[in-house]
């Protein structure tokens, strides 16, 4: 959950990414999304209510073509100074 940057209308938090080339428009993510954040628009999955998306794993888990997924950034902590 988060807020929307009104200057750009872009959400200030991560949302699932949708690969339109892979999306078949089957609607499985729409049926299973617990918050109705995703819907079919012009035959493809689209995040229509970004403020409602809880970034859960449901759409990613059930998509039969791996068209929708949640990107994560892996950050490595700097080495500890007291490490041998
Ligand atoms: S489940 Fe996957 S293929 Fe089906 S509409 Fe959603 S993103 Fe597209
Ligand atoms: S991450 Fe969860 S809440 Fe967000 S669109 Fe997918 S199923 Fe819906």
Taken in order of first residue, the domains within the chain and their CATH numbers are: 4-67 (3.30.70.20)
List pLDDT tens digits, range 34-43: 999 999 999 9
* Residue 38 alpha carbon, nearest atom of ligand 1: 6
**pLDDT of res. 84:** 55
Going by alpha carbons, the residue nearest to atom 8 of ligand 1 is: 23
For the chain, what is the mean pLDDT? 87
* Distances in whole angstroms, Cα of residue 16 to Cα of each of 58, 77, 78, 82: 11, 25, 28, 39
Q: What residues contact 39, with CB distance under 8 A and at least 6 apart?
A: 30, 45, 46, 48
Residue closest via CA to ligand 2's atom 4 equals: 53
Q: What is the pTM assigned to this prediction?
A: 0.80
- For the chain, the straight-line distance linking the first and the last C-alpha, in angstroms and rounded, comes to 40
Q: Is 24 in the pocket of ligand 1 (CB under 6 A)?
A: yes
Give the DSSP H or E segment for 59: helix 58-62
């Amino acid at each position: 959950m988060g807020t929307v940057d009104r200057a750009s209308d872009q959400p200030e938090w991560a949302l699932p990414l949708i690969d339109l080339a892979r999306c078949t428009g089957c609607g499985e993510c729409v049926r299973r999304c617990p918050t109705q954040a995703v819907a079919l628009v012009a035959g493809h999955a689209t995040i229509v209510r970004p403020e409602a998306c809880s970034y859960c794993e449901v759409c990613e888990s059930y998509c039969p073509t791996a068209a929708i997924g949640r990107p994560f950034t892996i950050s490595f902590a700097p080495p500890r100074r007291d490490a041998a």
